[in-house]
């Protein structure tokens, strides 16, 4: 089948705030071929991503992503892999390319799965999918009291694991951070898992991060996520050596396989967290899972948006029984909820089943999304090269 069209839909909440909440907008991708369609979602800045898809060619290795996608034949997994190799080569100098391609790649798997009547996890080589234990992913409250309430709320909803991140953490004193950490632990209870996300707040400053280790050890944190920016491998490695109890997690910023590999090899993370909406899609994410597993590193999805994204992000490690924990956006904005008509709810064991249905197994709620659609038009030399397509 030939890729006949790729449509990008920029969706947004009526108000966008400065909270580190990626569910406030979305870039949805629809790929069509022969009356079939597949859907994906980029975890990326919508306008820059649209420009990276449609923008005029700059030179031979700075081509828009559409040049590597439109008109290509996709008859099997190897064709998606081939396109995924062409994009970074043809767009070497277009930094935004992997972010926009990520959603397209997902949509290609979804399309292929629907055509073959197979779930994506089968197409990428797994014979079965294991249930995952979701952790409720939330922002820290402004105060420790707020955080306590949020953590209790997650516990009341049946979550056995929580993750708190961003907000005031790392910005105030060591003592205030310790209060936040104890509140997170108290809310979920002694048996729960507590993950902490520092949101890169310490840049590459190992000493600043190390001051939080005693409190992290005291609350038995399951991991400390992103103390540093993704590229600060030496800082990750140095902090890893500071505690035998608190393992590091990171990788959401990886926009290719190699970046994730380096966090494992040089950064010594214990958990590698991959966002399929950034790393180039499901294929490179699966490659990370294959690399992590034999090295004793646990693969975890990074997902803070819709359940379309959630399904896509579960596929790369669906078949890894021991890689049990999964990120679960616990309090996304309504837009993210409305992107799909079906949802991946925890079952009676509090676990998430990876969809056992063709493609990604999610139904995009086309009719319900028009109200979020952001109208964009890009005109170059008098020619409209992008206009928001109709959602229908």
| Minimum distance from residue 25 beta carbon to a copy of itself (Å) | 5
Judge contact between 124 and 283, C-beta under 8 A. Answer: yes
DSSP 10: E
- Give dist(CA 158, CA 374) in Å, integer: 36
Among 175, 191, 381, 392, binds a copy of itself (CB under 8 A): 381
Give the one residue of 3, 94, 136, 274 binding a copy of itself; rule: CB under 8 A: 94
Build a one-symbol-per-residue string for 48-67: x at contacts with a copy of itself by CB under 8 A, - elsewhere: x-xxx-xxxxxxxxxxx---
Nearer to a copy of itself, 229 or 365 (CB): 229
Q: Confirm or reject binding of residue 347 to a copy of itself (CB under 8 A).
A: no
**Residue 17 in contact with a copy of itself, rule: CB under 8 A:** yes
Min dist. Cβ of residue 79 to a copy of itself (A): 18
First to last CA, the chain: 22
* Beta carbon nearer to a copy of itself, 2 or 258: 258
How many angstroms separate the CA atoms of 83 and 31, rounded?
A: 14
CA 227 to chain centre: 18
- 235, 330, 259: which is closest to 88 by C-alpha? 259
* Minimum CB distance to a copy of itself, residue 302 (Å): 11
Does residue 370 interact with a copy of itself by CB under 8 A? no
- Say which residues have a Cβ less than 8 Å from residue 285's Cβ, sequence separation at least 6: 274, 276, 279, 313, 315, 316
Cα–Cα dist 223/212, whole Å: 12
Is residue 25 at the binding interface for a copy of itself, with CB under 8 A as the rule?
yes
CB 234 within 8 A of CB 261: no
User: Residue 266 CB, nearest distance to a copy of itself (Å)?
Assistant: 7
Cα–Cα distance between 40 and 3 in angstroms, integer? Answer: 14
Q: What tokens were used for 363?
A: 């139904």
Selected from 174, 321, 363, 379, the binder of a copy of itself by CB under 8 A is 379
Among 88, 134, 141, 250, binds a copy of itself (CB under 8 A): 88
Rule CB under 8 A: say whether 389 interacts with a copy of itself: no
Strand order in the sheet with 298-301: 298-301, 271-274, 248-250, 223-225, 193-197, 161-165, 133-139, 325-329
CA separation for the pair 7, 273 (Å, rounded): 28
Closest to a copy of itself by CB, 267 vs 319, is 267
Please compute, for residue 94, the number of CA atoms within 13 A of its CA located in the half-sphere on the CB side.
Answer: 33
Does residue 24 interact with a copy of itself by CB under 8 A?
Answer: yes
Which tokens sit at 320?
A: 């890894």
State which of residues 3, 8, 21, 215 lies at the interface with a copy of itself (CB under 8 A): 21
**Residue 96 binds to a copy of itself (criterion: CB under 8 A):** yes
Residue 231 contacts a copy of itself per CB under 8 A? yes
Interaction site with a copy of itself (CB under 8 A): 12, 16-22, 24-25, 43-48, 50-52, 54-64, 85, 88-89, 92-96, 98-99, 199-200, 203-204, 229, 231-234, 253, 255-256, 258-259, 261-262, 265-266, 278, 374-382
């Amino acid at each position: 089948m030939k890729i006949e069209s790729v449509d990008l839909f920029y969706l947004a909440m009526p108000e966008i705030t400065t909270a580190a909440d990626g569910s406030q907008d979305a870039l949805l991708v629809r790929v069509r071929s022969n009356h079939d369609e597949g859907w994906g979602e980029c975890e990326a800045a919508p306008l820059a991503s649209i420009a990276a898809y449609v923008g005029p060619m700059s030179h031979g290795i700075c081509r828009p992503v559409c040049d590597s996608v439109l008109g290509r034949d996709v008859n099997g997994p190897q064709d998606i892999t081939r396109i995924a190799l062409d994009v970074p080569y043809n767009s070497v100098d277009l930094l935004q390319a992997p972010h926009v391609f990520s959603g397209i790649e997902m949509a290609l798997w979804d399309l292929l799965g629907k055509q073959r009547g197979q779930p994506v996890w089968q197409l990428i080589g797994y014979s079965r999918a294991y249930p995952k234990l979701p952790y409720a992913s939330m922002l820290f409250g402004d105060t420790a009291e707020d955080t306590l309430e949020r953590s209790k709320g997650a516990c009341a909803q049946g979550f056995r694991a929580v993750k708190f991140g961003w907000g005031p953490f790392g910005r105030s004193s060591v003592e205030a951070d310790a209060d936040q950490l104890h509140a997170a632990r108290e809310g979920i209870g002694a048996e729960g898992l507590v993950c902490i996300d520092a949101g890169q707040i310490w840049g590459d400053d190992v000493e600043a991060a190390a001051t939080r280790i005693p409190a992290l050890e005291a609350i038995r944190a399951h991991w400390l996520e992103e103390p540093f920016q993704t590229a600060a491998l030496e800082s990750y490695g140095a902090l890893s050596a500071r505690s035998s109890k608190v393992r590091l997690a990171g990788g959401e910023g990886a926009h290719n396989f190699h970046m994730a590999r380096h966090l494992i090899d040089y950064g010594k993370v214990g958990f590698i967290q991959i966002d399929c909406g950034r790393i180039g899609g499901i294929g490179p994410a699966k490659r990370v899972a294959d690399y992590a597993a034999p090295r004793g590193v646990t693969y975890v999805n990074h997902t803070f948006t819709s359940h379309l994204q959630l399904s896509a992000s579960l596929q790369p490690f669906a078949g890894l029984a021991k890689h049990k924990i999964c990120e679960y956006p616990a309090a996304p904005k309504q837009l993210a909820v409305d992107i799909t008509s079906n949802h991946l709810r925890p079952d009676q064991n509090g676990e998430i089943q990876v969809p056992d249905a063709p493609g990604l197994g999610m139904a995009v709620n086309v009719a319900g999304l028009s109200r979020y659609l952001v109208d964009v038009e890009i005109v170059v030399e008098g020619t409209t090269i992008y206009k928001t397509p109709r959602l229908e």
